[in-house]
Amino acid sequence: MLLTARLKMRFVTACRQYLPQLVLLVLLANLADVDFLIGLGTEANANALHHGFTHSLAAAVFVALAVSCVWRIAGSFWRSATLYFLCHSSALAVGERIQLALGPGCGG
């Protein structure tokens, strides 16, 4: 019973310590789809702006460098920028893979 309480305390402490970083990485992974939300508010077709600039590698580089200037979660600037780039661009790769599998006009 004492071991279970210690493990639970360690888990809670780790969650509190790393939750902000996890939230940031989840937001970065989904940031490419912010154009969909903008399309919901401005166009009749929510997909009108989707797969625009936010789905480019240039945007992934820009986001990675900008966020690294503000918060370095991996120690150095370049390690954090690499982590942010991989997080943002992985969502792009998954979206493109879904679109290729389902065909034009579907998914991603």
Establish if 3 belongs to a structural domain: no
The larger pLDDT score, comparing residue 40 to residue 85, is at 85
Q: Which domain holds residue 85?
A: 21-102
* Domain count within the chain: 1
Establish if 44 belongs to a structural domain: yes
The larger pLDDT score, comparing residue 10 to residue 95, is at 10
Mean pLDDT of the chain: 78
| pTM of the full structure | 0.69
Establish if 15 belongs to a structural domain: no
The alpha carbon of 79 is separated from its chain's Cα centroid by a whole number of angstroms, namely 16
Q: Are 31 and 55 in contact (CB under 8 A)?
A: no
Establish if 31 belongs to a structural domain: yes
Per-residue CA distances from 63 to 40, 52, 85, 93, 94 (Å): 22, 15, 7, 16, 18
Establish if 10 belongs to a structural domain: no
Establish if 5 belongs to a structural domain: no
- For residue 86, give the 3-state DSSP assignment: helix
Q: What is the spatial distance between Cα 42 and Cα 46, in angstroms, rounded to a whole number?
A: 8
Q: What is the spatial distance between Cα 81 and Cα 65, in angstroms, rounded to a whole number?
A: 6
For residue 99, name the pLDDT band (cuts at 50, 70, 90). low
Establish if 12 belongs to a structural domain: no
Average the pLDDT over 99-106 and give the result.
60
Q: What is the spatial distance between Cα 34 and Cα 107, in angstroms, rounded to a whole number?
A: 15
Q: What is the spatial distance between Cα 90 and Cα 67, in angstroms, rounded to a whole number?
A: 16
